[in-house]
Amino acid sequence: MTSPAFVVIAEFRVKPDRIEAFLAAAQDDAAHSVADEPGCRQFDVIRPDAEANVVVFYEVYDSRAAFDAHLETPHLARFRAAFPALITEERPVRFFSRVCP
């Protein structure tokens, strides 16, 4: 059985003409999170079919401490610097404990 995980869901409404720039910044953050952070198990960038300008991050960490370490990384700093000009809304980040698998 896999140990419990700390799940983070972040959601953004992106300016229609800025979606490609936002996705590039998101990809950089996601790729470096998985490659460079031992406590990051998964980082998916997804878009709802019915909302073309919404982007959701589904992130899975070993623990809250691993997520807190993510908050101090250079790649997240780059994303934080880039995204405000690209979005119309940042929805509240939600935190979960993964039950299964």
pLDDT of 30-60, one tens digit each? 999 999 999 999 999 999 999 999 999 999 9
Residue 12 lies in domain: 5-98
Q: What is the mean pLDDT of residues 68-91?
A: 97
pLDDT at 67 over 70: yes
45-to-2, 8, 10, 41, 42 alpha-carbon distances in Å:
22, 12, 10, 14, 10
Looking at the structure of the chain, the number of domains it has is: 1
Q: What CATH number has the domain bearing residue 72?
A: 3.30.70.100
pTM: 0.94
- Max Cα distance, the chain (Å): 44
